[in-house]
């Protein structure tokens, strides 16, 4: 199974250096397991993202 980029949703087989840099400052918008667009909620203390297939992920603000 090919993992997917959390920022652009494309298969992570090519160079995604720009995406990786952007993901240091923002939450992922696509599920890394299936590439589906996730529902994302950003709050002052962090973020949560929910994939309909793989559930919720969360992170703290930097």
Q: What is the pLDDT of residues 2-54, one digit of tens each?
A: 699 999 999 988 788 898 899 999 999 999 999 999 999 999 999 999 999 99
In the chain, alpha helices (H): 17-23
pLDDT at 2: 62
Which pLDDT belongs to residue 17? Answer: 87
Domain count along the chain: 1
Residues spanned by the domain of 48: 17-60
Contact (CB, 8 A) for 15 and 41: no
Please report whether residue 4 resides in a domain.
no
**Per the domain annotation, does 35 fall within a domain?**
yes
In a domain, 52, yes or no: yes
Tell me, yes or no, whether 29 lies in a domain: yes
Q: Measured in whole angstroms, how far is the alpha carbon of residue 6 from the centre of its chain?
A: 3
Task: Tell whether 27 is covered by a domain.
Answer: yes
């Amino acid at each position: 199974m090919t993992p997917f980029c959390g920022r652009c949703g494309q298969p992570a087989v090519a160079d995604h250096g720009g995406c990786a840099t952007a993901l240091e400052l923002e939450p992922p918008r696509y599920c890394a397991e299936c590439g589906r667009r996730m529902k994302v909620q950003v709050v002052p203390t962090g973020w949560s993202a929910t994939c309909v297939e793989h559930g919720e992920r969360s992170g703290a603000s930097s």
